[in-house]
Structure 1
Amino acid sequence: MLDFVKVAAQMEAVGQRIRQGAIAGQQKQARALEVLTAMAENVEHYRQALQAWGESFPFNAAEPVESLTLRRTVPPAPKEHMILATDGSQIAPSHHEIAYCYLINVGRVAIAYGQGQRPHLDSLPQLVYDPEELERSRGWGLPIEDWLRYRRTQAEILALVELVQTQNPQLPAVALLDGSLIFWAWEPLPAAVREELLTPILAAWHQLRAKRIPLVGYVSASRSHETVNFLRLGVCPYREPNCALHCGQTNQPGLAATRDRPPCQVFDPLRDVLLWQGYLAPQQYSPLWRSRSRILEHYGEHRIYVAYLHGGSEVVRLEVPEWVAGDAELWQQAVSLTAAQIEKGRGYPVALAEAHNLAVVRGSDRQRFFALLERELIKAGHWHVAPSPKEQRKRQSIA
């Protein structure tokens, strides 16, 4: 039980730290906006520096593909359009439960506006009980929890494209996913694992491209620093931004790095969303940026571009494949329909919220799931079916 009297005694110090951080953040935001404006006058010089030295940077910086100071107003969405979205949830495997298995549940939503049709709402559960499948991740040195998370990401994307195929929208449409399209954590995976995860995803995205339906990864409360990191080139005091030579900073394995703070870190810990919050008005969006994350080397024609949209209540990060970013019509369609969803949802896309509600596994759902599983185990001849003593005791706690 949480002792709120003791917690309250610590809150004053927390409040002071928050106030100090807010003041420092405003100062760094103002400085970053000054540098952004200055760099815009010679952006090609900084692009070339990024291309020449970016591979050695100890940080990840995105590359602008439009003017740094470009601000566009969101175009109005057509009255008739369709939104398709998925989100996922899971029951993780536990040795304390009656059986070692996991469940992935994907909620799917298709809403046709201006058509007078009922929305399509359903969920797709996938139960994995096969011992060989459960043990595969151990052979690769991966925790089962990580493998489950990667499988869930893949299932959300494949379910979204399957939904597009069944709905076959003839209206302007957008396919929304909650979260990033840049699978940062997959870069260090063994090649065979990465290929198994990515190959079906990229094939599914190709189907969206053939149907000219833009795909958007919607990232709320993004913690990315990719565009702010590009501004570090504008404050680097050296003619050549060789981080290893001048500052002892490197991303190369086997090379030592100093702990001294490089002069280009004047913006830390400013995040991209705070930068663009100071530059964009509501219903405006930023220029496009090409992400340079290493995992994107495996994406082929689906490399990811990013932009920031001020939806009113927050600045959100939008991620789209290259074939959307390079097509002005698809890009505007993606922005306008996403912004319309934010407005309809009063700060968060309606379709993504509904997909989450369909996917989420609540406590009562979990109990029914294990009750069904217990019944099947008993039918199969397993008479002693019960959670571990530890799990049983936790459920019976008097606290």
Structure 2
Amino acid sequence: MPLDKASVVAALDANSQSIRAYLEDDDDLVERYQETFRALPTEWTAAEIREELSTSSYPGALPTDAFDDVDSIVRHHEPSDGWESHEAVNDWARDILLGVPIGAVDGSEIPPSTQFNVPLAYVQAAWSLNHHRPEGALDRGQIGRLLDPEEITRTGGEGGDEEYRFVDSSLVGLERYEHEAAVVVERIETLADERDAGNLERPPIMLYDGPLVVSFANPRRPAVRDRYLEAVSRILAASEYHEVPVVGYIAGTNAVELVKMTRLLLREKFERDRIIPDARVLTELMSPWGDATIPFLCRRDGSVDSLETTYEGQTYSYGKDIYFSYLKVPPGAGLDRLEFPGWLRREDGPEGYESLYEYVLTMVRAEAGVGRGYPEVLQQADTDAVLTHEDRQRFLRLLKEWGSANDVPIEWDAKALSKELRRR
């Protein structure tokens, strides 16, 4: 049955007072955090903040030495002053991006085929590379992988019965994640080869659609959590080894690291208040287009400390070397978040840029401008990666046809067969 609109409206009406009170309280809290954010660089040094928070293992965030060189944690994007149309954004972005290769990867999945007597699934990653040349140069590709029963089932069940094997749909998400990460690493390696061969005009950049700090993996079983962490650690290690910048791009972030840092720093002022998203505080401190915060070290939780791996015979650890910035690129009132490895801050940038991070921030900002608020190359990868309902139905038919052609007894279960016959 469809959603009962009248019931929803009636429930909203009945709770209107509490909803209004929450929003009003939120506005007051936001203003107090904004006042404190403005004052931080003038009242504290980076060393003082780090010392004050030294007893906390995970204070959310810590300032870098760049904190001491600014009077605001928000850096204004001056080129946007006077812009009155998206055409002005495009004109600026096209000039900035000229000759800069920017790649992206995204993925999709077809969940386990529980309609059959054998569970199978499929994951797909699509990659896109825009060279930003005047004549146009967009490379694209898709890489898919079939997941067999061993990869998407596990034993245990209720009571820990090791003889009982069941489909664990969460394993498909894990396999998809690892598949995407492997494609990101492959694309980084390819970009490095192209650069070293002299085929790229300017330093390449790789965008990853999602966070590099994988806190979402914390509640998982240890073996599953470790696989998520290993996947993203290999992305980071490949980026540093091959000197190809990688950025985790999170659209519409609700992260709370700066608020948590401030709350711990000024306990008497904020300890009784709830934690609110950093973006809720920062967005009104920024001008309409292109402003970004200075970088901060991410110290969110234990998932950061677990980012370590071996790549090409070298050991890499990123426990205290993942940084983040917030970026404002309309439309919408929210902010996007960039997560990146610390070597970008330490590496000199190409001519005109103090560091590789400054170069990357500028290019990502421009790419998001062209995409009207979300990097265009990520949009392309998402479009190419998506697997539709029609793709799922085609996949199921292919399984059945393949089974018949190869004398493999793949059969519909009774319920699925009934649905299939009724829908024909």
TM-score scaled to structure 1, two decimals?
Answer: 0.81
Q: 2:410 & 2:341 partners in 1: Cα distance?
A: 51
What's the C-alpha RMSD, in Å, of the aligned pairs? 3.1
CA offsets, 1:97-150, max 9 Å, x none?
453012111111101102524311221111111x33334586999983333222
Q: Return the offset for 1:37.
A: 3.2
Q: Is residue 233 from structure 1 mapped to residue 256 from structure 2 by the alignment?
A: no
Aligned to 1:243: none
> Which of 111, 118, 122 is equivalent to 1:103?
122
Q: Report if aligned partners of 2:329, 2:336 keep a CA contact under 8 Å in 1.
A: yes
Change (3 A) 1:269 1:16: farther
Paired residue type of 1:362: T
Q: 2:107 & 2:155 partners in 1: Cα distance?
A: 20
Aligned to 2:405: 379
Q: 2:373 & 2:281 partners in 1: Cα distance?
A: 19
> Which of 359, 366, 371 is equivalent to 2:385?
359
Q: Report if aligned partners of 1:83, 1:111 keep a CA contact under 8 Å in 2.
A: yes
Change (3 A) 1:97 1:279: farther
Q: 2:155 & 2:101 partners in 1: Cα distance?
A: 38
> Which of 224, 240, 252 is equivalent to 1:221?
252
CA offsets, 1:319-350, max 9 Å, x none?
00121233352111221111111111111111
What is the number of equivalent residue pairs in this alignment?
A: 368
- In structure 1, runs of 5+ residues without a counterpart are 239-262
- In structure 2, runs of 5+ residues without a counterpart are 80-91, 308-315, 348-353
Q: Report if aligned partners of 2:153, 2:167 keep a CA contact under 8 Å in 1.
A: no
Q: 1:143 & 1:367 partners in 2: Cα distance?
A: 19
> After the TM superposition, which of the residue ranges 379-388 and 32-41 deviates more from structure 2?
379-388
Q: 1:46 & 1:366 partners in 2: Cα distance?
A: 52
Q: Return the offset for 1:358.
A: 1.0
Change (3 A) 1:164 1:184: same
CA offsets, 1:249-296, max 9 Å, x none?
xxxxxxxxxxxxxx6142x24201111112222211102111112112
> Which of 267, 271, 280 is equivalent to 2:286?
280
Aligned to 1:308: 326
SS state at 1:343 partner: helix
Q: Is residue 185 from structure 1 mapped to residue 193 from structure 2 by the alignment?
A: no
Paired residue type of 1:86: V
Aligned to 2:74: 71
> After the TM superposition, which of the residue ranges 350-359 and 228-237 deviates more from structure 2?
228-237
Change (3 A) 1:225 1:97: farther
Q: 2:72 & 2:417 partners in 1: Cα distance?
A: 56
Paired residue type of 1:206: A
Q: Report if aligned partners of 2:106, 2:208 keep a CA contact under 8 Å in 1.
A: yes
Q: Return the offset for 1:304.
A: 1.5
Aligned to 1:338: 364
Paired residue type of 1:48: E
SS state at 1:113 partner: coil
> Which of 87, 90, 98 is equivalent to 2:109?
90
CA offsets, 1:172-212, max 9 Å, x none?
32211111111113346566555554445434433322443
Aligned to 1:294: 302
CA offsets, 1:201-240, max 9 Å, x none?
43443332244321111111212111110111243139xx
Q: Return the offset for 1:371.
A: 0.8
Change (3 A) 1:394 1:119: same
Q: Report if aligned partners of 1:82, 1:110 keep a CA contact under 8 Å in 2.
A: yes
